Amino acid sequence: MQAAITTTATTVCAHPHTKPSSAPFLRLSPPACRVSFSASPGPNVRATAMAATPPQQEQQMVITRPDDWHLHVREGGVLEAVLPHSARHFGRAVIMPNLKPPVTTTARAVEYREQIMRALPPGSSFVPLMTLYLTDNTSPEEIKLARKSGVVFAVKLYPAGATTNSQDGVTDIGKCLPVLEEMVRQEMPLLVHGEVTDQHVDTFDREKVFIDRILAPLVQKLPQLKIVMEHITTMDAVNFIESCEEGHVAATVTPQHLLLNRNALFQGGLQPHNYCLPILKREIHRQAIVSAVTSGSRRYFLGTDSAPHDKQNKECSCGCAGIYSAPVALSLYAKVFEEAGALDKLEAFTSFNGPDFYGLPRNTSKIVLRKSAWKVPATYKHSSGEIVPMFTGSTLHWLPSDQPEE
């Protein structure tokens, strides 16, 4: 349960936003000696510093293997192309059920899981945690089956029409009450896409209105139901999460909602690869989310919402919502925490808060995040097309790998 930061340099890092003073565990040893010390940013942080010759610098952070608590991997050729990006560094991922047709039954979840297992690289120990897609017709019986299967981890609520492949979603949460009550009995969490679909509500307000109209009353009605508000985007969501009892309601946060505001949709022309749902919001909302996750609060955890779509389905007259972030997500989360001077809080967000909330063991293996510039590929090809990743072609500064560099 410890993060170790190793630095081989005389300057901690060249990144303009890094403030060594805000991350005390990044201290360096005198040249030519190797020291190991316990610093005090938190009980789970240990630092090891190792000196080297300037101006070369190498900084690395060893963290417990992260999990992705919100992931779309699709099927077929796309599944085969995208899954290795997640399986490489993440231990587990909650797999979203919005396929065509959606995963509405336990039998289908079991089948989909097998498909995913077949697509995993040999030797991978990645664990897909499956979800059921809630509809107006889901029965309490299906929840019992889901629990019994040992395969279904949670149930996903898409308000009908809210996002990609959500047309079979819930039209009236009231109709689902018996199912939600069964979920309380079965201790099955509810994962929520928190946006209303009312066309009279401005797109940028749909999350806030969902909280007021649906989520807050639901939490009141079923306080024992474990709820995760997925991919939060607003200050209103942060305030709501903070107002709930810890351990009952939590939130996942994506890299795009931490790094981009709505200007990114229009920068130099329409930017389809920054289009996702919920849509990017104003800067004040982005800042509120950054403050929330970098505060060290246990209520927030990593959920990339990595949502691959073919380049041609993004760059067209009616482009799909979804950002493909799996290959860049860990680099981007590290960037966010570094820029906030909160690298000591990164590991809890990526690797502890999620399993702790869900009552699962934390991963025991480690990964390394090395401070090393790398270029994001323009696209990732698959059997019948290509996918443009988030921050395509740009240079990122934290490179995840499995092994510490000697």
Task: Please say whether the beta carbons of 234 and 290 come within 8 A.
Answer: no
Q: Measured from the CB of residue 72, what is the shortest distance to Zn ion in angstroms?
A: 6
Active site residue 70: yes
Task: Please say whether the beta carbons of 52 and 58 come within 8 A.
Answer: yes
Q: Which amino acid is at 377?
A: P
**Residue of 285, 327, 286, 289 lying closest to 306 (CA atoms):** 327
State how far the Cα of 315 lies from the Cα of 270, in Å rounded to an integer: 10
**Residue of 125, 124, 130 lying closest to 99 (CA atoms):** 130
Among 276, 289, 326, 367, binds ligand NCD (CB under 6 A): 276
Active site residue 200: no
195 counts as binding Zn ion under rule CB under 5 A: no
314 counts as binding ligand NCD under rule CB under 6 A: no
Q: Measured from the CB of residue 305, what is the shortest distance to Zn ion in angstroms?
A: 4
B/e letters for 11-37, b = 16+ CB within 10 Å, e = fewer, are: ebbeeeebeeeebebbbbbeeeeeeee
Q: Measured from the CB of residue 162, what is the shortest distance to ligand NCD in angstroms?
A: 7
Among 307, 346, 369, 390, binds ligand NCD (CB under 6 A): 307
Q: Measured from the CB of residue 157, what is the shortest distance to ligand NCD in angstroms?
A: 11
Q: Measured from the CB of residue 296, what is the shortest distance to ligand NCD in angstroms?
A: 26
Q: Which amino acid is at 300?
A: Y
Catalytic residue, chosen from 68, 168, 236, 305, is: 305
98 counts as binding ligand NCD under rule CB under 6 A: yes
Binds 67: which of ligand NCD, Zn ion, none (CB < 5-8 Å by kind): none
**Residue of 121, 83, 90 lying closest to 330 (CA atoms):** 90
Binds 98: which of Zn ion, ligand NCD, none (CB < 5-8 Å by kind): ligand NCD
Q: Measured from the CB of residue 272, what is the shortest distance to ligand NCD in angstroms?
A: 11
Active site residue 231: yes
Q: Measured from the CB of residue 193, what is the shortest distance to ligand NCD in angstroms?
A: 6
Binding mask 152-181 for ligand NCD (x = CB under 6 A): -----------xx-----------------
Under DSSP, the state recorded for 377 is P
Q: Which amino acid is at 36?
A: S
Catalytic residue, chosen from 226, 231, 273, 371, is: 231
Among 168, 236, 305, 339, binds ligand NCD (CB under 6 A): 305
Among 4, 93, 241, 277, binds ligand NCD (CB under 6 A): 277
Active site residue 17: no
Under DSSP, the state recorded for 376 is P
Q: What are phi and psi of 91, to 5 degrees?
A: -80, -45
CB-nearer residue toward ligand NCD: 135 or 163: 163
Active site residue 85: no
CB-nearer residue toward Zn ion: 305 or 338: 305
Q: Measured from the CB of residue 309, what is the shortest distance to ligand NCD in angstroms?
A: 6
State how far the Cα of 59 lies from the Cα of 42, in Å rounded to an integer: 20
Active site residue 397: no
Count of chain residues binding Zn ion (CB under 5 A): 1
Catalytic residue, chosen from 67, 68, 168, 193, is: 193
322 counts as binding ligand NCD under rule CB under 6 A: yes
State how far the Cα of 109 lies from the Cα of 154, in Å rounded to an integer: 11
Task: Please say whether the beta carbons of 352 and 370 come within 8 A.
Answer: no
Residue 86: HSE in the Cβ half-sphere, 13 Å Cα cutoff: 36
Query: What are the distances in angstroms from CA 406 to CA 58, 59, 138, 280, 402?
Result: 11, 12, 53, 40, 13
The CA-based angle 79-82-88, given to 5 degrees, is 120
193 counts as binding ligand NCD under rule CB under 6 A: yes
Facing residues of 191 across strands? Answer: 156, 228
Catalytic residue, chosen from 70, 257, 273, 314, is: 70
State how far the Cα of 161 lies from the Cα of 171, in Å rounded to an integer: 9
State how far the Cα of 239 lies from the Cα of 377, in Å rounded to an integer: 37
Catalytic residue, chosen from 156, 273, 281, 397, is: 156
CB-nearer residue toward ligand NCD: 182 or 230: 230
**Rule CB under 5 A: which of 284-343 touch Zn ion?**
305
CB-nearer residue toward ligand NCD: 390 or 396: 390
H or E element, residue 144: helix 140-149
> Which residues of the chain form contacts with ligand NCD (CB under 6 A)?
72, 98, 163-164, 193, 276-277, 305, 307, 321-322
Give the interface with Zn ion as residue ranges (CB under 5 A).
305
Active site residue ranges? 70, 72, 156, 193, 231, 305
